[in-house]
Amino acid sequence: MQLSSVDNNDLRQVSGLVRQQLLLEQRVEDLAADLKKAQADLAHISGEALPAALAEHGLTELKMADGSKITVATMISASITKEKAYEAHDWLRSNGHADLIKNTVSVSFGKGEDEKAAALISQLDAQGWATDQKEAVHPSTLKAFCKEQIERGTDIPSELFGIYIGQKTTIKKGK
């Protein structure tokens, strides 16, 4: 559309669409904030308030009249921060768990260099290619490992692995 051919109807339509977009952007922002609050409220009820209320009555499980079943289970989470990665990996290696650590080496190649990409890392280093190396333990693997070690009674450094042990309720709805 050329400037000379723009009329008031065209501008009203554009203006209306601009207002509509701004309203929708604000609505999305508001909904995201509401979702974040609802998730925090749910985490508090499921992870703190309801397990504590059931524990007060000596319960870990409860069946409701409508057939719903509330169960309290121990929840374990773990994570290795970037700052503690070297120390955590060292502990895993020293204690016979090096197989948990994934060691990824990647090399960036330009267009059409597929044959070079198949070369071994030592050959690449000899040829002067810059390589990136990353060591990490997959979060699910770490969580399962920590849970297993805790259940066995093995002493593992909780601060090194960011271990959190808490309670969480699960509600299965009745039929």
In a domain, 69, yes or no: no
In a domain, 66, yes or no: no
The residue out of 59, 90, 106 marking a domain boundary is: 59
Give the distance, in angstroms, between the CA of residue 135 and the centroid of all CA atoms in the same chain. Answer: 18
Average pLDDT on 109-137 reads 71
* pTM of the model as a whole: 0.62
In a domain, 68, yes or no: no
Across-strand partners of 132?
Answer: 106
Range of the domain at 89: 76-172
pLDDT tens string 51-93: 999 999 999 999 999 999 999 999 999 999 999 999 999 999 9
Pair of tokens at residue 115: 């044959």
Domain total of the chain = 2
Number of H helices, E strands in the chain: 7, 5
In a domain, 65, yes or no: no
Question: HSE on the CB side for 155, CA within 13 Å?
Answer: 0
Instruction: Output 174 or 140, whichever has higher pLDDT.
Output: 140
Whether 25 and 96 share a structural domain:
no
pLDDT band, very low/low/confident/very high, at 113 (cuts 50, 70, 90): confident
Whether 91 and 144 share a structural domain:
yes
Whether 49 and 101 share a structural domain:
no
Instruction: Output 123 or 57, whichever has higher pLDDT.
Output: 57
